[in-house]
Amino acid sequence: MNRFTLSAGVVFTLAVAVTVGLLAFVADRSTDARRHAAALAVFDGLVQTETSLDRDLLQVVAGILPHYDPLVEHVRGLETLAARLPAGDAGTAVLYRARIDAKLDAAERIKGTAAFVRNAVNYVPFRIGRYGETGRPEVLARMQRALIDELAGRPSDAGGAVAVPAAPADGPEAAELAHIALHLGTLRDQKAELRDAIDAYFAIDARGVLETLRTAYLADYARRQWWSQAITLVLVGLTFLLFVALGGSIVRLGRAHRRVRESEAKFSTIFHAAPEPVAIAAVPDGTLLDVNAAFERVTGFTRGEALGRPLQDFAADDEVRGLAAALTGPAPLANREMRLRRREGPEFTALVSLEAARIGRSACCIAVARDITDRIAAEHGMRMADSVFENAREGIMITDAGGTIERINPAFTRITGYAPDDVIGASPRLLNSGRHDRAFYRDLWAALIRDGHWSGEIWNRRRNGEIYPEWLSISAVRDREGRTGRYVAVFSDITTVKRHEAALQHLAHHDALTGLPNRVLLADRMEQAMARTRRSGRAMAVAYLDLDGFKPVNDRHGHGAGDALLVEVARRMAGVLRTGDTLARPGGDEFVILLPDLGDAQECAGVLGRVLAAVSEPVSLPDVGTPVRVSASIGVSLFPDDDSNPDTLLRHADQAMYQAKQAGRNRFQFYDADRDQRVQARRETVAALRAAIGAGRFTLFYQPKVNMRLGSVVGAEALIRWNHPERGLLSPGEFLPLIEETELEVALGEWVIATALAQMADWHRRGIDLTVSVNIAARHLLRADFTDRLTALLAAHPELPRHRLQLEVLETAALEDIGRARTILHVCREMGVSAALDDFGTGYSSLTYLRHLPVQTLKIDQSFVRNLPHDAEDCAIVESVIVLARALGRTVLAEGVESVEQGRRLLHLGCDLAQGYCIARPMPAADLPDWIRTWQADPRWTADDRPDRLAG
Amino acid sequence: MTRSRSRTGAVLGAFLWLVPVTAQAGEAAREPIRPLPPPAVTDPLRVELGRRLFADPILSGDGTVSCRSCHDPGRGGADAQPVAVGIGGATGTLNTPTVYNAALNLAQFWDGRARTLEEQAGGPITNPVEMAAHWPDVLARLTASPYRASFRAAFGTDPSADTVAAALAEYQRTLITTGSRFDAWLAGDAAAISPEEERGYALFKSYGCASCHQGANVGGNMFQRFGFFGDPFGDRDGERPSDAGRFAVTGRDADRRVFKVPGLRLAVLTAPYFHDGSVATLPEAVQLMGRYQLGQEIPEEDITLIVQFLATLPGPLPDAGPAGGDDP
């Protein structure tokens, strides 16, 4: 890491330096460009200014420019610009400045000379003019001629002196003429001088030198430019390379850093994950440098509180010295049991080890404390378990995995008579009573191996040979790997219990006086008989019998005589009944006879005639002198003509019995003739329905089921409609009750299943795979051949996945025969067909029953959903159902959702699935595909943010 | 009489002279004397600083003499002395030129040894017979004074010889005496000068004075030899070292007795005259100029007219208010 840091640092420094250099260089280049522009401007300015100076000097010489101010400006300009000439070709520059200086000197000469020439040009004519005012005309003319010649540059005479006319040698005129001649001479001289000066001025070639200078400068500039670009390229390249290197260094540095961090995290994790409290303490004072999570957990001190304190602080008072000694002493501490302190709560016992270590440069020690509180508690628990073992009232036997007895308790000896020495090392088979067959023991062992325990009643044999029942509970004791180490059998002698139980059983079901089945057993028998009758398709008669004249016997001869009479009559009646008939005594002087397996109503008449005869025979009673005579009045109800429940059948029979009494006693009477009319009407409706099936007047509508949260369609419920020729489209509520519990109901149910399957197959071909549920009536479901028929119907559509079909069963229907319903639904589930419990909540099902019913879905009845979300009680019920469904691992779906708000509430309560008018009304099959394509969940559902999402 | 040349000779001379460039004949009507250009104030902070320094004796060796001591606005920007009188009454050898319009000169000093005002400024400060100061002392004093802040404001640096010179030069560039009667006449106001003054101007040109004394400053833009006709120094009392003129700068014999032609804008205000201050009055100076430079004895009445013309040249003097007196 250090190497990386160093190299990254070096590269970074270099990169920065080179970048700065590059920037400086580029900046310098831009300055250079400005300087170049300035230099070019200087060159151009010099040329222009020199040209201007040339021009203005010529104008001065020509007399066009009467003053020198512009010349001064040009001179200043030249001087200023010349001073700004770029450094470079020093020699040429010096030469150029010298030329310029020479030019300026020459210019000064021109200026001075031109001034004199101008003087003369102005003054001579002026003076000649003055002379002309008084002088001689011929002289004047000559002088004018001489002036013109002079001005025109024509030499007027070879001698050079101005030809001045002869005149008196002295006098004013002579002086005047001499003066004019002097100035004419001056004019001539100065003009010559001016010509010289001009020649001298223009002979000086400054511009050529300037051109040389400019050429040299441009060449130099181009060269510098080239170098500068080359250097820039090199610098840019270098910078790029350095930054690439820097990037590489940073990446490597990051990698190295991460490795160190990971390593540190790894060791830190190990340290903190260690299950034992570990502390690192400085030597010798014991100052804590670090503690792990287990230390915090066990002592209750946080790391912040612990660090900086000495290790000894955590020892109980009497242990501090020992710990301090161990810290300073040479020998490490190994597994010494010590009392340690917690932040709060009692001290605890731990095995403490100290190990010297070095961390970095400091000496320290690593202290590990293993909390053995649990072990001590375990020892205590073991002692307690022992005492339980010894003192239990139940016999306890412990065997090894092979079943060899290892240990027994005193209660074992007490119950079985076997002492420990008799049985330890032996097999429990010595207790075998011989009452149970091989299969019993095989099942017992199978359960034990599968479930780990078995409990039940078993007959065993005591040492003295006596066979007794015991309630035995065997548990397999498994080790961590799940292997059985031993078995523990606990049993109690239930001999007494069994005895009482049998007596109670009989009492509960039999009339104590006659030994006949009482009302309770009668109800049971009736159920069985009705079920049998249904299956057989024959008839059963329920006869209610009341003794005529019993009360006077009872009053006259006492209860004893009455009881004796009842016993005798019962005996006689039993004598005339057929095998399979049931005679019961619900109470008093009333008897009930069940006559199953009848071809028709008349068949029972013979039996009942015998009964009447048997009862009316005289009876001799003990302690009563003369025999007594009684007779019987019998009411009869016929099943299944009277397709009612047992109570109703009894009640009907009872009513008929009263009719029989009214009709004169000693006779039997069938129940109620006027119901034939109703039976007739029903038969007509049933006939119409049957015809409707054949005529194809039924159709299925489908109501979608959706997941409100996900906005997806999860299925549809098939709902039957009767397209009645006169009454229009009828809902099931208008015709199903008429055929409840009839064969037609079953036929219609099968039609529904077949039609729904055909529709699903049609959809399946069109790529629509939808779970469709059909409603199954209880009678239909409970039929013996239900699963066979269903298999056949499904077989017609092998391409359909079976789980697409769901059966909806009314809760109340399922409860009619829960055992049977469970079996059938279980078979259906094996086939792949799932089931839903419809109208859930209306049947007051118990949790236990539900648990055993193999249904996947609970449908919350719409009567609860209707009042959501305002009815608190319904809210509570729905919530309970949802929680219950969740607890049982069932899906829950709400029916009859009519508003968005209800949907929201259901979502909030944890129910995602729903059907109802708010989502869609039931619709013809043809409409469903389009509806699925276009449906979208209400945004208020999908946006709903439920705090605790329950499993839907 | 108009400004156009009435005299035959002048017309003739001009005509002949201009033959080669007749195309520019219209330009020939231009007068040799031009109106003064208004000063271009480039940097008010520097000008103001220069104005204060100019009047402040802090620049002199003993704190008694300022620039203004000799270049007194009350005396036409000069000192009315034949030769300069410096610190402790020391005298120089040359007549003090006016500070007004000096910016227009092609060079400074009589011999033109300073090409710019900046170059010139240091001269008197360190001249033992003028302000007799040493730069380190001057700069130390300035740095210790409130001037330091002014320099920092104007130049961004502490006082230095260069910045002192620059401030003074910048100030002097504002000392231009625009607004004279003659400039108004040049601008077309025919009534701005009297007929006599106009006649004086014509004579000024006819005698040839305007050959050298031309331009905005009526001179100052060229060098000329003193004594083209005759020997002025011999006529005086013999040649002195200070009469060498530009020779002292260039060392060329051709430059002996060559002096900068002085501007005549404020000539009427700046007696005495000539480089040695040897001439007390203006008519006398005109007369001597005619004699030695033009080879003429100008008549008395013409001299009077010329002097009258010269009196139309000064405009109002900038900074010549009440504060223009002696330094505190």
Counting one residue from A and one from B, how many pairs have CB atoms under 8 Å apart? 125
Question: Quick check: B14 pLDDT over 50?
Answer: no
Q: CB contact, 8 Å: A184 with chain B?
A: no
Residue B2 lies in a domain: no
Q: Domain containing B229 — which CATH number?
A: 1.10.760.10
Q: Evaluate whether B71 touches B96 at the Cβ level (below 8 Å).
A: yes
Q: Look at residue B258 in the predicted model and tell me its pLDDT.
A: 92
Percent above pLDDT 90 for chain A: 16
Q: A128 to chain B nearest CA, in Å?
A: 8
pLDDT band, very low/low/confident/very high, at A554 (cuts 50, 70, 90) = confident
pLDDT band, very low/low/confident/very high, at B25 (cuts 50, 70, 90) = very low
Q: Evaluate whether A146 touches A93 at the Cβ level (below 8 Å).
A: no
Residue B3 lies in a domain: no
Q: Look at residue A276 in the predicted model and tell me its pLDDT.
A: 84
Whether B158 and B216 map to the same domain: the answer is: no
Question: Quick check: B16 pLDDT over 80?
Answer: no
pLDDT in tens, A106-121: 998 899 898 888 888 8
Q: Chain B window 202-221: which residues touch A at a Cβ cutoff of 8 Å? A: 205-208, 210-212, 214-216, 221
Whether B208 and B301 map to the same domain: the answer is: yes
Q: Given an 8 Å threshold on Cβ–Cβ distance, is B21 in contact with A126?
A: no
Q: Where in chain A is the domain with CATH 3.20.20.450?
A: 707-934
Distances (CA, A) of A475 to A252, A400, A420, A493: 62, 12, 21, 18
Higher pLDDT, B13 or A54: A54
* Span A707-934 CATH architecture: Alpha-Beta Barrel (3.20)
Whether B140 and B249 map to the same domain: the answer is: no
* Arithmetic mean of pLDDT, A754-780: 90
Distances (CA, A) of B49 to A819, B40, B96, B149: 120, 16, 23, 10
Structural domain of residue B66, as residue ranges? 44-176+318-324
pLDDT in tens, B99-111: 999 999 999 989 9
Between A105-119, A348-362, B137-151, the lowest mean confidence (pLDDT) is in A348-362
* The length of chain B, given as a count of residues: 328
Q: How many CB atoms lie within 10 A of CB A661?
A: 18
Q: Look at residue A352 in the predicted model and tell me its pLDDT.
A: 85
Q: Look at residue B142 in the predicted model and tell me its pLDDT.
A: 92
* Arithmetic mean of pLDDT, A123-148: 83
Contacts of A848 by beta carbon, 8 Å cutoff, 6+ apart? none
Q: CB contact, 8 Å: B35 with chain A?
A: no
pLDDT in tens, A246-269: 888 889 888 989 998 898 888 888
Question: May I ask the CATH class of domain A392-500?
Answer: alpha beta
Q: CB contact, 8 Å: A200 with chain B?
A: no
pLDDT band, very low/low/confident/very high, at B208 (cuts 50, 70, 90) = confident
Chain A residues with beta carbon closer than 8 angstroms to that of B31 = 66
Which amino acids of B are annotated catalytic? 130
Q: Look at residue A161 in the predicted model and tell me its pLDDT.
A: 45
Between A689-693, A783-787, A806-810, the lowest mean confidence (pLDDT) is in A689-693
For A291-328, give the DSSP string. E-HHHHHHH---HHHHTTSBGGGGB-GGGHHHHHHHHH
Q: Look at residue B309 in the predicted model and tell me its pLDDT.
A: 95
* Arithmetic mean of pLDDT, A353-367: 81
Helix (H/G/I), strand (E/B), else coil: A676: helix
Q: Look at residue B102 in the predicted model and tell me its pLDDT.
A: 92
Whether B144 and B203 map to the same domain: the answer is: no
Q: Look at residue B9 in the predicted model and tell me its pLDDT.
A: 36
Residue B1 lies in a domain: no
Whether B263 and B288 map to the same domain: the answer is: yes
Whether B170 and B216 map to the same domain: the answer is: no
Whether B90 and B186 map to the same domain: the answer is: no
pLDDT in tens, A893-938: 999 899 988 998 898 888 899 999 989 999 999 999 999 999 888 8
pLDDT band, very low/low/confident/very high, at A165 (cuts 50, 70, 90) = low
Whether B172 and B59 map to the same domain: the answer is: yes
Cα–Cα dist A857/A877, whole Å: 17
Whether B200 and B118 map to the same domain: the answer is: no
pLDDT band, very low/low/confident/very high, at A672 (cuts 50, 70, 90) = low
Question: Quick check: A373 pLDDT over 90?
Answer: no
Whether B172 and B183 map to the same domain: the answer is: no
Question: Quick check: A36 pLDDT over 50?
Answer: yes
Model-wide pTM > 0.80: no
Number of structural domains found in chain B: 2
Q: Look at residue A651 in the predicted model and tell me its pLDDT.
A: 85
Higher pLDDT, A919 or A779: A919
Q: Given an 8 Å threshold on Cβ–Cβ distance, is B34 in contact with A116?
A: no
pLDDT in tens, B269-323: 998 999 988 899 999 999 999 999 888 889 999 999 999 999 999 999 988 754 4
CATH superfamily of A510-673: Reverse transcriptase/Diguanylate cyclase domain (3.30.70.270)
Closest chain B residue by Cα to residue A107:
B222
Calculate the average pLDDT of chain A. Answer: 84
Higher pLDDT, A950 or B56: B56
Q: CB contact, 8 Å: A123 with chain B?
A: yes
Closest CA to A75 of A118, A46, A95: A46
Q: Look at residue A756 in the predicted model and tell me its pLDDT.
A: 93
Question: Quick check: A806 pLDDT over 80?
Answer: yes
pLDDT in tens, A903-912: 988 988 888 9
Whether B108 and B149 map to the same domain: the answer is: yes
Chain B residues with beta carbon closer than 8 angstroms to that of A108 = 222-223
Whether B110 and B68 map to the same domain: the answer is: yes
pLDDT band, very low/low/confident/very high, at A397 (cuts 50, 70, 90) = very high
Q: Given an 8 Å threshold on Cβ–Cβ distance, is A124 in contact with B216?
A: no
Residue B268 lies in a domain: yes
Q: Look at residue B18 in the predicted model and tell me its pLDDT.
A: 38
Q: Which of A11-15, A367-371, B107-111 has the highest mean pLDDT?
A: B107-111
Degrees, nearest 5: CA angle B243-B248-B250: 135
A275-375, CATH topology level: Beta-Lactamase (3.30.450)
Give the type of residue at A645: N
Higher pLDDT, B164 or A509: B164
pLDDT in tens, A166-192: 555 567 778 888 888 888 888 888 888
Q: Chain A window 128-147: which residues touch B at a Cβ cutoff of 8 Å? A: 128-129, 147
Helix (H/G/I), strand (E/B), else coil: A836: strand
pLDDT band, very low/low/confident/very high, at A3 (cuts 50, 70, 90) = low
Q: CB contact, 8 Å: B134 with chain A?
A: no
Q: Look at residue A815 in the predicted model and tell me its pLDDT.
A: 67
pLDDT in tens, A217-236: 888 888 888 888 888 888 88
* Arithmetic mean of pLDDT, B121-140: 86
Cis bond leading into A410, ω under 30°?
no
Q: Look at residue B10 in the predicted model and tell me its pLDDT.
A: 38
Q: Look at residue A849 in the predicted model and tell me its pLDDT.
A: 66
Question: Quick check: A783 pLDDT over 80?
Answer: yes
Q: Look at residue B27 in the predicted model and tell me its pLDDT.
A: 35
* Arithmetic mean of pLDDT, A650-675: 81
Q: B327 to chain A nearest CA, in Å?
A: 34
Q: Look at residue B224 in the predicted model and tell me its pLDDT.
A: 92
Q: Given an 8 Å threshold on Cβ–Cβ distance, is A122 in contact with B208?
A: yes
- H or E stretch including A680? helix A676-695
Q: Look at residue B327 in the predicted model and tell me its pLDDT.
A: 36
Q: Look at residue A674 in the predicted model and tell me its pLDDT.
A: 62
Q: CB contact, 8 Å: A120 with chain B?
A: yes
Q: Given an 8 Å threshold on Cβ–Cβ distance, is B206 in contact with A108?
A: no
Q: Look at residue A680 in the predicted model and tell me its pLDDT.
A: 58
Q: What's the token pair of residue B219? A: 């001179």
Q: CB contact, 8 Å: B13 with chain A?
A: yes
Q: Which of A311-315, B164-168, B316-320 has the highest mean pLDDT?
A: B164-168
